[in-house]
């Protein structure tokens, strides 16, 4: 239970702020005394949080599956020659500005969540791919040779030996990718996606610092909660791999 204490604490703080933002109106009025409305009310914060998390979750799932599959392929004998190409394709996704991806995707996919998902998937590929390559390439060849010597097939070696041993490194890449995309997803509000970036954009347009702070606080807390959750997952994974497992 101690492992999960920090993410649970951050989640409690995040939900308390989402559900109790109205109670902080006097504090935000000190920041924005000349403005009548200091609490963002166009959408509920709970709805924006849910939609924001959904966008990040869907994009992270797609990006992780693609990046891990690409990393596995590039570390197999058949795919070694494609390793530079796989790395370059993923690098393009992160070096290309998300705003530019949105601008190019809107004419094709329209406004809303679609272009945002495309930008998040492309932006989240590189950290996962790099860590997948590092985790799988960093394994001691003697370990995989011993597994093959025990009669394991290539598939069994991959899923029973390589992935478990490289899992913590891969999780660290997913952690970086997801944390970055929590902040990046806010840009989707500029093209009609409903995210926690809504109060930030509204605040910038209307000169309302209180709105900007509300969105920024929630995005920051969500990122902290997610980061601590992945840290807990990495620790659990490391303990499971370190513990001797009975052989079936």
Six token digits for residue 163: 């992935």
Is position 163 within any domain? yes
Is position 29 within any domain? no
pLDDT score of 67? 92
Give the domain extent around 183: 46-242
Q: How many angstroms separate the CA atoms of 19 and 16, rounded?
A: 5
CB 149 within 8 A of CB 132: no
Up-side HSE of residue 14: CA atoms within 13 Å toward CB? 23
Is position 112 within any domain? yes
Q: For residue 124, give the CATH number of its domain.
A: 1.10.3720.10
Residue with tokens 């891969």: 170
Q: What does R_g of the chain's alpha carbons equal in angstroms?
A: 21
pLDDT score of 94? 67
Is position 34 within any domain? no
Q: How many angstroms separate the CA atoms of 32 and 35, rounded?
A: 6
pLDDT score of 48? 96
Is position 172 within any domain? yes
Q: In sequence order, which residues have a C-beta less than 8 Å from that of residue 175 and are 6 or more positions away?
A: 226, 227, 230, 231, 234
Is position 91 within any domain? yes
Counted residue by residue, the chain has a size of 248
pLDDT score of 245? 54
Is position 248 within any domain? no
Residue with tokens 């403005």: 35
CB 45 within 8 A of CB 21: yes
Is position 19 within any domain? no
pLDDT score of 147? 86
Q: How many angstroms separate the CA atoms of 214 and 135, rounded?
A: 38
Using alpha carbons, list the distances in angstroms from residue 180 to 44, 69, 90, 207: 24, 21, 15, 26
Number of domains in the chain: 1
pTM above 0.85, yes or no: yes
Q: In sequence order, which residues have a C-beta less than 8 Å from that of residue 178 and are 6 or more positions away?
A: 56, 60, 124, 226, 230
Mean pLDDT, contiguous 10-residue spans, the chain (248 residues): 87 95 92 87 94 95 94 86 78 72 81 88 88 88 87 88 91 93 90 92 92 95 95 89 58
- Chain centre to alpha carbon of residue 230: 10
pLDDT score of 113? 87
């Amino acid at each position: 239970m101690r492992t999960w204490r920090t993410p649970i604490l951050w989640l409690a703080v995040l939900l308390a702020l989402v559900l109790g933002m109205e109670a902080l109106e006097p504090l935000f009025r000190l920041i924005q005394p000349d403005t009548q409305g200091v609490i963002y009310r166009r959408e509920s914060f709970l709805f924006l949080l849910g939609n924001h998390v959904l966008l990040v979750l869907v994009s992270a799932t797609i990006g992780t599956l693609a990046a891990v599959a690409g990393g596995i392929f590039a570390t197999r004998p058949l795919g070694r020659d494609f390793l530079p190409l796989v790395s370059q394709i993923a690098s393009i996704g992160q070096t290309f500005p998300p705003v530019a991806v949105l601008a190019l995707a809107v004419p094709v996919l329209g406004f809303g969540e679609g272009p945002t998902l495309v930008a998040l998937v492309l932006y989240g590929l590189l950290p996962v791919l790099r860590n997948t390559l590092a985790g799988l390439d960093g394994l001691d060849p003697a370990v995989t040779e011993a597994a093959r010597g025990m009669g394991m097939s290539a598939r069994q070696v991959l899923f029973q030996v390589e992935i478990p041993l490289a899992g913590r490194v891969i999780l660290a890449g997913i952690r970086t990718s997801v944390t970055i995309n929590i902040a990046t997803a806010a840009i989707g509000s500029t093209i009609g996606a409903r995210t926690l970036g809504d109060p930030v954009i509204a605040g910038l347009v209307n000169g309302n610092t209180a709105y900007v702070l509300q969105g920024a606080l929630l995005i920051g807390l969500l990122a902290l909660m997610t980061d601590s959750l992945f840290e807990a997952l990495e620790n659990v994974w490391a303990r499971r791999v370190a513990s001797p497992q009975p052989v079936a």
